[in-house]
Amino acid sequence: MKVSREQMAENRRRILDVASRLFKDKGFDAVSVAEVMKAAGMTHGGFYGHFSSKDDLVAQTLAHALAGDSFGDGEFSDFVRSYLAPRHRDNPGKGCPTAGLAAAIRHQTPAAKAAMT
């Protein structure tokens, strides 16, 4: 059965969301492709229809996570209050990608580093 373009895009977004959470929770090196795909509810073999390698996944996950990370139109004080709240502090996998991944980026590929800057 052929997967529609919409379903492919949704699957890719799901993989990126899951990878972002896992990378922030555990770090890049502690997360395997198989773990990402299992958490996304997909097969390991399906990974290569979306990404060429784990390094590609890391770089694209960073770009995806950072694209969705913005201050919005609110006041800076509201952002700081939200950022420092226990729900953000206690759930790093759902938190700020910069705070969750910045220290580990130095060991990644140039493409991943470029996505972070």
Nearest Cα residue to 62 out of 8, 6, 114, 2 = 114
The type of residue at 60 is Q
Domains of the chain plus CATH, in order, are 5-116 (1.10.357.10)
Give me the pLDDT at residue 107, please. 77
Write down the pTM of the prediction. Answer: 0.74
Low-confidence ranges of the chain (pLDDT < 50): none
Give me the pLDDT at residue 50, please. 96
Phi, psi of 109 (to 5 degrees): -70, 160
Nearest Cα residue to 67 out of 6, 22, 20 = 20
Burial of 36 (0-12, 13-18, 19+ CB in 10 A): buried
